[in-house]
């Protein structure tokens, strides 16, 4: 509907000069009395033209060439809104469109030919994924789906570092546990990884090698085995919620390919770095940030900033049109340094979109579940999936805007009733399948022949909602807001249940029944497409 109006105003701007300067915004009013679509543009123009908004609105309406088959009525309301009412017959045209496009309905080719990369999860292999990683993983994957839905070709990328202090500690932790098995009880250091998975890895090494590793360094087989095992575990967990990465980018490769050295050289040549106290500093203050930061420690080891900048350089070199980074809020202070560094090198940093999500609190019976990674009393993502299943995990993590904290209610997540929105949605989808089965037994088919019979209030509301789907998907994708999809789907499912309660299919006249079947299938298709983008299953029976 919005597209039609946009086109209408574009042609009208030939006659009204001032329409050329305004970007028309169309809204779906919350109140039905305000029409199907409304625009506030007359009010916006009022200021720059210094004229009465209602007068401008009248002038605009007089210049619109309206096809009565499409738009039934246009009116001026309130301080100067222009409200459009669509022709019910036009609204039904969405049904054959949906039935025709099926699983592709709602896609757009706006960004066809564009390439994007989405970096997410990016947890180093020091332990199993936590629920915090879960939000990152699900959101990142959904963003990828949304981008694909608008035409982008997208790579999912997982960036990790298997060198450095964290990993050394990991190897040592495993060795401690291994020596414990050999009977050498030593004080397990407080700052080492205490999770049970460390003991499992140590036990596995013992089973395989007996006591022959006693004198091996922690850096060797202990660390390597731990990394391998943990990565397998992480990949397994991600696969359970339908996430598969196209690429795992190892920080190490930046060193091996000389990218770090090269970057350091460039900073030096451009006079963006300097030496002080035996370390190399990046002139971030000069670049508009808080203060200068160390990029190479006095020990000769780079800090995370240098490889991070080098890593993002490779993203530019790989010619992505859009570079998305999904981070937890604990990273909110680190990325500005990286951005400043890249900008100083002349990269178009506006291509980078950093999405910061807030943390997750697990609520069980009204109580927040306390979590500490070191003490290993955190809930792993795997355990959460065991508890509630993949669909609920994916849906709940997508349900809220990433800027707000997420309360994950375990009790609610486990209930299979209307309290749980996932089941409400999946039920609506399954219900259509059930209807189709029943109607078939009654000799009824799906038909788009008599859609003009769909004039009831419930039917009209559903049709209008279906019209919004494509625009909603595009908007959500462009704004990286997957939670709006869940809100849309819940509204659609609600309208469907209402329709179903009030509009019978079996027992009414055949033409009407078959039109209603077509509408039901259209609704089912849209629910399924929305759920697919969210990564949630749409079952035919429950």
Q: Does 81 bind RNA (CB under 7 A)?
A: yes
CB 46 within 8 A of CB 80: yes
Residue selected from 252, 373, 433, 450 as contacting RNA according to rule CB under 7 A = 433
Residue selected from 171, 341, 421, 530 as contacting RNA according to rule CB under 7 A = 421
- Which range, of 110-118, 173-181, 234-242, 329-337, touches RNA by CB under 7 A? 329-337
Residue selected from 66, 203, 239, 403 as contacting RNA according to rule CB under 7 A = 403
- Give whichever of 154 and 282 is closer to RNA, judged by the CB atom: 282
Q: Residue 129 has which token pair?
A: 């994924």
Looking at residues 111 to 130 of the shown chain, list those that interact with RNA (rule: CB under 7 A).
Answer: 124
Distance CA 89, CA 455 (A): 9
Q: Does 414 bind RNA (CB under 7 A)?
A: no
Query: Minimum CB separation from RNA for residue 288, in Å?
Result: 13
Residue selected from 40, 136, 172, 460 as contacting RNA according to rule CB under 7 A = 40
- Give whichever of 14 and 290 is closer to RNA, judged by the CB atom: 290
Q: Does 95 bind RNA (CB under 7 A)?
A: no
Q: Does 373 bind RNA (CB under 7 A)?
A: no
CB atoms within 10 A of CB 148: 17
Query: Minimum CB separation from RNA for residue 374, in Å?
Result: 12
Q: Does 372 bind RNA (CB under 7 A)?
A: no
The full DSSP string for 444-496 is -----TTGGG--SHHHHHHHHHHHHHHHHHHHHHHHT-THHHHHHHHHHHHHH
Q: Does 151 bind RNA (CB under 7 A)?
A: no
Distance CA 343, CA 380 (A): 37
Residue selected from 115, 353, 484, 511 as contacting RNA according to rule CB under 7 A = 484
Phi, psi of 242 (to 5 degrees): 75, 25
Q: Does 164 bind RNA (CB under 7 A)?
A: yes
Query: What is residue 25's three-state secondary structure?
Result: coil
Residue selected from 15, 268, 276, 375 as contacting RNA according to rule CB under 7 A = 276
Query: Minimum CB separation from RNA for residue 395, in Å?
Result: 12
The full DSSP string for 170-191 is HHHHHHHHHHHHTT---PPPTT
Sheet of strand 247-250: strand arrangement: 247-250, 153-160, 115-119, 322-328, 352-357
Cβ-in-10-Å burial (0-12, 13-18, 19+) of 534 comes to buried
Q: Does 417 bind RNA (CB under 7 A)?
A: yes
Residue selected from 331, 343, 351, 511 as contacting RNA according to rule CB under 7 A = 331
CB 263 within 8 A of CB 295: no
Q: Does 407 bind RNA (CB under 7 A)?
A: yes
Closest Cα partner for 406 from 374, 373, 384, 376? 384
Q: Does 161 bind RNA (CB under 7 A)?
A: yes
Q: Does 251 bind RNA (CB under 7 A)?
A: yes
Q: What is the 3-state secondary structure (H, E, C) of 278-303?
A: CEEEECCCCCCCCCCEEEECCCCCEC
Binding mask 340-359 for RNA (x = CB under 7 A): ----------------x-xx
CB 16 within 8 A of CB 60: yes
Q: Does 275 bind RNA (CB under 7 A)?
A: no
Residue selected from 1, 46, 202, 527 as contacting RNA according to rule CB under 7 A = 46
Q: Residue 341 has which token pair?
A: 């560094």
Query: Minimum CB separation from RNA for residue 497, in Å?
Result: 3
Looking at residues 167 to 206 of the shown chain, list those that interact with RNA (rule: CB under 7 A).
Answer: none
- Which range, of 56-64, 86-94, 179-187, 494-502, touches RNA by CB under 7 A? 494-502
Distance CA 480, CA 475 (A): 8
Binding mask 16-35 for RNA (x = CB under 7 A): -------xxx-xxxxx-xxx
Query: Minimum CB separation from RNA for residue 113, in Å?
Result: 25
Q: Residue 35 has which token pair?
A: 């029409």
Q: Does 304 bind RNA (CB under 7 A)?
A: yes
């Amino acid at each position: 509907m919005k597209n039609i109006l946009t086109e209408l105003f574009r042609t009208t701007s030939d006659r009204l000069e001032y329409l050329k300067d305004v970007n028309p915004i169309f809204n779906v009013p919350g109140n039905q009395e305000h029409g199907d679509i409304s625009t506030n543009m007359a009010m916006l123009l009022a200021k720059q033209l210094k004229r009465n908004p209602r007068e401008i609105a009248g002038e605009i309406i007089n210049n619109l060439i309206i096809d009565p088959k499409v738009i039934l009525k246009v009116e001026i309301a309130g301080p100067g809104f222009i409200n459009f009412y669509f022709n019910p017959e036009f609204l039904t045209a969405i049904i054959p469109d949906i039935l025709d496009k099926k699983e592709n309905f709602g896609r757009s080719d706006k960004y066809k030919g564009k390439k994007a990369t989405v970096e997410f999860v990016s947890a180093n292999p020091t332990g199993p994924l936590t629920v915090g990683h879960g939000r990152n993983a699900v959101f990142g994957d959904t963003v990828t789906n949304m981008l694909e839905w608008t035409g982008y070709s997208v790579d999912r990328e997982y960036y990790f570092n298997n060198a450095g202090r964290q990993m050394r500690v990991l190897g040592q932790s495993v060795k401690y546990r291994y020596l414990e098995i050999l009977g050498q009880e030593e004080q397990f250091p407080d700052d080492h990884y205490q999770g049970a998975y460390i003991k499992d890895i140590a036990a596995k090494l013992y089973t395989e090698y007996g006591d022959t590793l006693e004198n091996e360094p922690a850096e060797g087989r202990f660390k390597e085995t731990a990394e391998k095992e943990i990565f397998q575990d992480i990949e397994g967990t991600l696969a359970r919620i339908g996430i598969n990465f196209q690429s795992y980018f190892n920080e190490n490769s930046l060193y091996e390919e000389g990218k770090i050295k090269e970057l350091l050289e460039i900073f030096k040549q451009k006079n963006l770095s300097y030496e002080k106290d035996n370390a190399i500093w990046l002139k971030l203050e000069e670049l508009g940030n808080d203060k200068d930061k160390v990029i190479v420690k006095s020990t000769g080891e780079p800090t995370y900033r240098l490889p991070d900048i080098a890593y993002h350089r490779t993203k530019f070199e790989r010619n992505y049109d859009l570079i998305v980074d999904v981070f937890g809020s604990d990273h909110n202070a680190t990325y500005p340094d990286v951005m400043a560094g890249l900008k100083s090198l002349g990269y178009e940093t506006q291509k980078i979109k950093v999405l910061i999500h807030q943390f997750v609190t697990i609520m069980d019976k009204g109580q927040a579940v306390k979590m500490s990674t070191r003490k290993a009393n955190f809930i792993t993502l795997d355990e959460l999936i065991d508890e509630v299943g993949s669909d609920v995990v994916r849906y709940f993590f997508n349900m809220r805007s990433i800027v707000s904290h997420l309360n994950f209610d375990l009790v609610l997540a486990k209930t299979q009733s209307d309290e749980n929105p996932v089941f409400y949605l999946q039920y609506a989808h399954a219900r259509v399948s059930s209807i189709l089965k029943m109607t078939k037994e009654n000799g009824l088919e799906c038909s788009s022949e008599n859609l003009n019979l769909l004039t009831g209030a419930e039917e009209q509301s559903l049709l209008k909602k279906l019209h919004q789907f494509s625009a909603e998907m595009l908007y959500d994708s462009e704004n990286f807001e997957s939670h709006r999809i869940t809100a849309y789907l819940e509204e659609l499912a609600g309208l469907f249940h209402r329709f179903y309660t009030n509009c019978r299919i079996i027992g009414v006249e055949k033409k009407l029944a078959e039109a209603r079947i077509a509408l039901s299938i259209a609704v089912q298709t849209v629910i399924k497409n929305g759920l697919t983008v969210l990564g949630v299953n749409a079952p035919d029976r429950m």
